[in-house]
């Protein structure tokens, strides 16, 4: 099945491992992620100003591309892209006057008709295939791997676009359970990773990373699984600086859910792109007998 797919900038750079593992695992699920023929920046941060249509142009232009490619649905991976595209789309459905204004402004584009649906991959797999189907396709169960699932903010807020319950989300846990992993109760799954403070006030992020990884350790996790390149940068790559600042800090591998999905479905190890993970997850995966 051909599925229109919007990658976004990070998935072509630092989160390349997220993209290649997603494409590979989707293929094993029978989903052919077809990259949009043309795409631009997702808009990055959804603007909450009521009089700021300009910042919605980027996401809506991307949805026009989906329309041009002849699709009614588009799948995203990055939390930020998902949040921005979905919220902008909801706004267009709700406010026809603003849609008209924006269509008029983009006079060289075809009109956007807001009937494209924006999906996050995890929702798409749940709704289109169902986790039972996924369970049937598992070749290498993740038995014995204790996983803490981390959502961050953008997949759960605001309510209008959330993937699952804001306080006790289970959608990714359910997927990983289907893959055979052992889910640990991790109450910090919707805490803040520190986000863009990683640029200006790194100390804030180091504090968060120390807290979030240490708590995951305390709760017995082997790895932390997430779906956001921003969170991944803070929680994985920033472990280097975290260790410098907090000498007792114990590191932990952080993976994209698609990397585990790819392994469980019997995909190639090269398609996981583990070389881009700062803390190497291979030792723990080997230890659990999940990879050789």
Backbone angles phi, psi at 32, to 5 degrees: -100, 100
Which of 46, 82, 151, 188: binder of another protein (CB under 8 A)? 188
Q: Which is nearer to another protein, 30 or 187 (CB)?
A: 187
Q: How far is the CB of 166 from another protein (least distance, A)?
A: 7
DSSP state of 214: H
Q: How far apart are CA 287 and CA 291, in angstroms?
A: 8
Q: Which is nearer to another protein, 51 or 159 (CB)?
A: 159
Q: Which is nearer to another protein, 189 or 259 (CB)?
A: 189
Contact 75, 6 (CB under 8 A): yes
Q: How far apart are CA 162 and CA 138, in angstroms?
A: 27
Which helix H or strand E contains 133, and what residues bound it?
helix 131-137
Q: How far is the CB of 184 from another protein (least distance, A)?
A: 12
Q: Which is nearer to another protein, 134 or 163 (CB)?
A: 163
Contact 186, 220 (CB under 8 A): no
168 touches another protein by CB under 8 A:
yes
27 touches another protein by CB under 8 A:
no
Q: Which of 86, 91, 150 is nearest to 120 (CA)?
A: 86
Site for another protein in 105-164 (CB under 8 A): 159
Q: How far is the CB of 144 from another protein (least distance, A)?
A: 23
250 touches another protein by CB under 8 A:
no
Contact 21, 32 (CB under 8 A): no
Q: Is the peptide bond before 92 cis (omega within 30 degrees of 0)?
A: no
Contact 236, 254 (CB under 8 A): yes
Q: Which is nearer to another protein, 218 or 292 (CB)?
A: 218
DSSP 71-115: -SEEEE-SHHHHHHHHHHHHHHHH-HHHHHHHHHHTTTSPPP-S-
Q: How far is the CB of 188 from another protein (least distance, A)?
A: 8
165 touches another protein by CB under 8 A:
yes
Which of 96, 187, 266, 289: binder of another protein (CB under 8 A)? 187
185 touches another protein by CB under 8 A:
yes
Q: How far is the CB of 153 from another protein (least distance, A)?
A: 13
Tokens, residue 9: 């900038």
Per CB under 8 A, which region of 65-73, 81-89, 184-192, 276-284 contacts another protein?
184-192
Site string for another protein, 208-227 (x = CB under 8 A): ----------x---------
Q: Which of 261, 258, 216 is nearest to 235 (CA)?
A: 216
Q: How far is the CB of 254 from another protein (least distance, A)?
A: 20
Which positions touch another protein (CB under 8 A)? 159, 165-168, 185, 187-188, 191, 218
């Amino acid at each position: 099945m051909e599925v229109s797919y919007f990658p976004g900038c990070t998935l072509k750079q630092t989160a390349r491992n997220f993209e290649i593992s997603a494409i590979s695992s989707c293929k094993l699920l029978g989903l052919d992620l077809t990259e949009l023929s043309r795409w631009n920046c997702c808009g990055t941060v959804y603007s909450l100003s009521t009089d700021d249509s300009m910042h919605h142009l980027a996401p809506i232009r991307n949805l026009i591309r989906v329309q041009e490619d002849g699709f009614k649905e588009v799948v995203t991976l990055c939390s930020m892209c998902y949040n921005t595209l979905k919220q902008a789309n909801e706004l267009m459905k709700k406010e026809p006057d603003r849609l008209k204004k924006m269509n008029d402004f983009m006079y060289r584009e075809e009109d956007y008709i807001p009937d494209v649906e924006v999906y996050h991959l995890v929702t798409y797999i749940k709704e289109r295939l169902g986790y039972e189907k996924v369970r049937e396709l598992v070749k290498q169960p993740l038995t014995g791997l204790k996983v803490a699932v981390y959502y961050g903010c953008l997949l759960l807020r605001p309510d209008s676009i959330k993937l699952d319950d804001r306080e006790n989300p289970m959608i990714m846990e359910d997927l990983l359970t289907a893959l055979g992993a052992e889910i640990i109760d991790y109450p910090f799954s919707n805490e803040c990773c520190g986000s863009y403070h990683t640029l200006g006030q790194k100390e804030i992020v180091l504090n968060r990373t120390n807290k979030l990884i240490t708590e995951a350790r305390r709760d017995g996790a082997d790895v932390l699984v997430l779906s956001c390149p921003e969170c991944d940068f803070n929680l994985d790559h920033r472990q280097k600086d975290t260790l410098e600042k907090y000498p007792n800090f114990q590191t932990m591998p952080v993976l994209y859910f698609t990397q585990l999905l790819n392994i469980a479905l019997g995909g190639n190890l090269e398609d996981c792109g583990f070389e881009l993970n700062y803390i190497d997850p291979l030792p723990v995966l080997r230890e659990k007998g999940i990879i050789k």
